[in-house]
Amino acid sequence: MNEIELIALLTQSLPMNNTVVTGAGDDCAVLDLGLPGQWLLFKTDAVVAEVHFDAGARPEQIGHKAMGRCLSDIAAMAGSPVAALVTLGLPPHFDPCWVAAIYAGMKSLAQRYNVAIVGGETTTSPDRTFISISMIGTVDKSKCVLRSGARAGDAILVSGTLGGSWAGKHLEFAPRVNEARWLADHFAIHAMLDVSDGLASDLRHILNASGVGAELLARDIPISPAASQTAHGPLSAHAPLNAALTDGEDFELLFTLAGADTVRLLDAWHPQFPSLPLTCIGKITAEPGLKLRDRDQVREVTEQGYVHFA
């Protein structure tokens, strides 16, 4: 049973109450706690040694990634992060200086986005180090973006470049919090998430939640220069594209909006974020499924991104 199947099993008939706007199945849970004009966002995420980072990672980078993953999910809902709790699991013989450096990385990124770290838990983890962070944020009720709002005819856009993240970006990425809030403030974004498991897998989350399909344009997918060095499979002209579709850990924004708004958005984006590309990579279709147009040929996308337990 892989991660997706396990989540489907575990989320059947979860208890709910009248505060729940959106439960399991999106980047964050959305709760209505009576805040005037706002909803509460609630998220938890974890990084585990030898899964999300290896022995070569600096402790500051590990802390950065642990905090950044939750920030990226808050961004995916166009929210503002507020506070975090940290659960830290350590082997019995740990280096206190190494752990303090992990916290330095977390604190540095938290301060950048005005996030308070308000406590947590420490525990023994006999096998390996893990860090789990729970974060709350807020979002204007009128601007919260879910995965489920994509419509046929929407344009599909992505920030930054994709693929090759394990060359270093996965430890040093910038959560797109400010960019997502700007998008929601100035445009009607229909659906959005952050690319964590790979474009091919994450776009399917939007399609499944929205009941639509998509066609991607191979020539327009923004491939990272690092993708050609870390692409899976034999070296070929298609390996970098495969990396962009499947590598994951990009933590870029993937979103849809009305096709008629695309040019206006692209024109407005560059003056605001001149160092961050924004690219239209395809369109939402009424017909289900995910297709890739490469020159004059159209094929079903069979590639999958990262799936735990697969």
What is the token pair recorded at 286? 């009424």
Q: Output the CA–CA distances (angstroms, integers) from residue 70 to 75, 80, 122, 198, 290, in the order listed.
A: 9, 11, 19, 17, 27
Q: What's the order of all strands across the beta sheet hosting 253-258?
A: 189-194, 253-258, 154-159, 278-285, 213-217, 289-294, 297-300
| Amino acid, res. 242 | N
Which has the closest alpha carbon to 187: 250, 142, 138? 142
Domains and CATH numbers, the chain: 3-140 (3.30.1330.10), 154-300 (3.90.650.10)
| Predicted local confidence at residue 236, as pLDDT | 39
* CB-CB contact of 172 with 64 (8 Å): yes
d(CA 84, CA 135): 4
Burial class (CB in 10 A: 0-12, 13-18, 19+), 134: middle
Q: What's the order of all strands across the beta sheet hosting 130-140?
A: 20-22, 29-31, 38-48, 130-140, 80-90, 116-124
Which stretches in the chain have pLDDT values below 50?
A: 231-237
What is the phi-psi region of residue 181: left when phi exceeds 0, alpha when psi lies from -120 to 50, beta otherwise?
alpha
d(CA 35, CA 82): 14
| Predicted local confidence at residue 230, as pLDDT | 52
Antiparallel, parallel or unpaired: β 289-294 and 213-217 = parallel
| Predicted local confidence at residue 238, as pLDDT | 53
| Predicted local confidence at residue 278, as pLDDT | 98
